[in-house]
Amino acid sequence: MLSLFGEEPCRATMITAQRAGLWHDMLAFIPAYSAFLALAAWAMRGADRRLALAAMAMLLLAGLLDEIEGVVLFRLLSGFPGAGGWFDALFWTVRPKFLLLGLGEIAIAALLVRGTWMAKIGAVPVAIGGAVSIWFLLADPRNALMMQGHRWAWTALLLVAILGAIRHTLVMRPKQA
């Protein structure tokens, strides 16, 4: 594992940077994306409560698996004898995480379809993103389109959320006298 970081004098710097990145991932990015996706599903629970709860469960479990992945990566970075055995654990965190994210995105798309015309439009790239990510996870997980699918889904969902918030604000604004 440590050979991935080259030889000294660069190895120590690269490992330090990787550890810092893992801390940022575990303390900020994973909680942020998990909350964003799970709360999006929760916000649409009026369309189908059971589907929204199932989506939330999938997405929160994906976030938990991502956190466990970070712990495994820290173990691999430690360089202790036998640390290489932790590579198998990555398969059981990374693959299910990405599958659950894709399934959660498709479930969110199914919830969006039951909403406003704007949500219906947003459901298309969310569903396509989830489906593309699952397809490439199963067919060719090293293909960059696997991650692009998630990016498409999350970006579309963010745009729907922003536009929905603006619409809600304008509709709910008290009328000026």
Q: What local confidence, expressed as pLDDT, does residue 141 receive?
A: 93
Which pLDDT score is estimated for 69?
95
Q: What is the pLDDT of residue 75?
A: 86
pLDDT at 106 over 70: yes
pLDDT in tens, 107-159: 999 999 999 999 999 999 999 999 999 999 999 999 999 999 999 999 999 99
What pLDDT is attached to residue 61? 98
Dihedral angle, C-alpha 80, 18, 39, 41, nearest 10 °: -80
User: In this predicted structure, what is the pLDDT of residue 80?
Assistant: 64
HSE value, Cβ hemisphere, 13 Å, CA-based, for 38: 16
Tokens of 44: 């649409």
Task: Give per-residue pLDDT as tens, 64-95.
Answer: 999 999 999 998 888 766 666 778 888 899 99
> What pLDDT shows up at residue 30?
98
| Residues whose CB is less than 8 angstroms from the CB of residue 90 and which lie 6 or more positions away in sequence, other chains included | 69, 72, 73, 76
The CB-based long-range contact list for 126-132 (8 Å cut-off, 24+ gap) reads: 126/152, 126/153, 126/156, 126/157, 126/160, 127/153, 128/152, 128/153, 129/105, 129/153, 129/154, 129/156, 130/101, 130/102, 130/103, 130/104, 130/105, 130/106, 131/102, 131/106
* Confidence (pLDDT) at 168: 85
What's the predicted TM-score (pTM) here?
A: 0.89
| Residue 3, pLDDT score | 63
Q: What is the DSSP letter of 175?
A: P
